[in-house]
Each structure stands twice: as structure tokens, then as C-alpha cells.
Structure 1
Amino acid sequence: MIIKLVLAGALLTSGIGLVAPLAVAASSSDTCASTPTASLPAGCREPVGSDSGSLPGADEAVARALRLVGSHGYYQLCARLAANIWGRPHSGYYSAAEQWRQMVVSGNAHRDRKPPVGALVFWDTGGVFGHVAVYVGDGRVVSNDIGDDFPGEGGVYLVDFSLVESKWHAAYLGWAPPIYST
């Protein structure tokens, strides 16, 4: 079931969600990734899983995600939506597919179907851009475009995790913590 809530969010009034994506790929030196033996680069915050089944900061991110449900202006801007949910103006990656590749290379990708609350979940849509949404718990994600009545609407929806696969025939890739370039 798709739940639509009406909210005139600050992102819409400021126009942040209405701007076309810039093709700016983050290089490996721009990402906030670390290995178990290396510390994070200066200025980076890397969330890690906790025993409670959610990521640090997930409560705020989920609250922000739910406030965005019902808004518009995110047509084909899933990476920007996920970044906005985590309080970032943009993802710093060219696409969701590129972000997933960086998570794999940096060792932050998890291929199981048990993401913690707040995790970024990724799908291969068969195109070059892929798809990312934010897991909010109870088998649901906040995603864009999935419930649009017409192309270009760019709506934000709270939907069952499986809808991305069943409606778009997308292949689930896995989940990662919200790691963004600085």
C-alpha cells in the first residue's frame, strides 16, 4: 500500500529537490570510507551498525524521511533523496549505481536482506543509474517515483521494500550505511 502524506517541506520551497542532478562523481579520495585498521579521513562521519538494529542518527533520518513522504520534485533523483534524508544536499556520487560500487570497493556493502533502520538499500534497475532508497523499518522504504501517476512527478512514497522489485523488476543488490563524500 502506498501512503501519501502532504507536506510542503523546506526542500521544495528552497528548490533543492527540483534541480537536475549534476554529473559529479566522487573519487575515492572524496569518500568517507575506512578499513578496520585505518581511521576515517578528517571531516567524515561513518555510521556503524548497533545492537538496536539501526544506525546512529537513524531516528532523525527516518523522521526526516517520513516528513518528505508526499512531497514532489525528486523525479529520477533517488540518490539526492536519500542524501537529503540523511541531512546532505546531494550524495556526491554520479548515480546510485556508482554509490553502490563505491560501497562494495570500500567494504561497506552488505548483501543480506536485513538492513538496519536508516540503511541505504540499492537495486539494479537494468539501467546505468540504479536505484537507492532508505530503509525505515517494518519492511518499508522511503523511495521516489514508485507511486507516480505520471512521468516527471517525482513523488516521495513510503512503500513495502519488495515493491521496488515487483513493480520495476529491479534486482536487489544489498544495503550500506549512509557514507557520503565531504
Structure 2
Amino acid sequence: MTTPCCCLPGKSVQEVTNSYAPQVVKLISAAVEKVINDGASILAVAGQPPAGCVPVILTLYPSSNKEDYEPDTGCLKEYNRLAMYHNSLLHQDVIRLREKYQQVKISYTDYYNPIINAVKSPSLYGFINTPLQVCCGKDGPYNFNISENCGMPGVSACPKPSAYLHWDGAHLTEAANRYISSTWLDGPYADPPLKTLHN
């Protein structure tokens, strides 16, 4: 299957992976160098979340082929491969920037792995056992409907948002962000952990 890419209409996820991911990482690196040249001395550079686990992506680009989904997460494989490739390139470039600007403290913060872990084992992190469902939504397998979004009449929030990973189709809940930030502050999903940057 040629999966269409949400970020570049008319392009497949594979085309974006091969052609655009390296260009995007170069632009991010150029922006990091710009803020360093403007005087920044402590930086966190964030990777991409697992796009194949985002309810809006799962809803807009469903597949009838079970092979297109990761068996342990229910997420779309191609979108997650794109995110992993992007993150690998970005992490390598952060290491290069650290070597070039040794006086600057730069951390690579990983969005991908904390979210994947929470999707694989939601109860371990305090989330419900249907981690791809949104708290504020309506209908569909992910409680998300593109034409009836959170905040619209007839669309309500769940009674316990802190038990959900996803707030709406595209955003994480406060509880999910708190969990992810703890993995960045103390590790293991920041290289180096953010708390160490002030030492």
C-alpha cells in the first residue's frame, strides 16, 4: 500500500521519509545554530512523536490491511517508521552540534519512546487500556470524528482526562505531557537529562 502523507498532500509517507526528512532535520539544525549564534547556551531539541499512533492520523488514513498496523500498538507502521527515521537523523545531528559548540549544552529529547511505551503498557503509566482513544471526542474507534471536534456542540470530554494519553485527535493530555516531561527531566528519554544541563 502507498500510504498518503498527511504533512505533504500528493506525497506518500515513503517519499517524505526518503526526500523530506533529511531536509527537515537540516532546517531544524540551522535553527538551532541560529539561536546558539544569538546567544543561547542551554537547548533542548525535541524529536517527533510516533505519528502512526496519533488518532487523527489513524482516522484519516485507515488501512484494511492488518499488516499496515503494528501488532503490539495498533499504530500505523509507515508513519512510525517516518518518525523513527527523522528522530535518528535529528539525534545524530544534535551529537554533531554538541561537538561543534562544546560551550553549549544541548539535549535531545525523545517524544517517541515514552509515548510508544504508554501505548504498549498504558496501565503501567496510569492510562486507560485503550490508549489510542481520545478523551474529548465523539464516535469512531478512537472516539474521534474529524467533523465533530472537541469544543463543538455535542462533543464532550471524558470524566477523567488524567486517565487518557490523548486529549483530542492531535494533542496529548496534561497527564501525558507530565509523564513525558518527567522522562526528560530525570531520564531516560533525554540525552542528557534536562536536570543535568544546569550543573
Taking structure 2 as the reference length, the TM-score comes to 0.27
Which one has more relative contact order, counting CA pairs under 8 Å at least 6 apart?
A: 1
Taking structure 1 as the reference length, the TM-score comes to 0.28
- The structure with the greater share of residues assigned to helix is 2
Rg: which structure is higher? 2
- The structure with the greater share of residues assigned to strand is 1
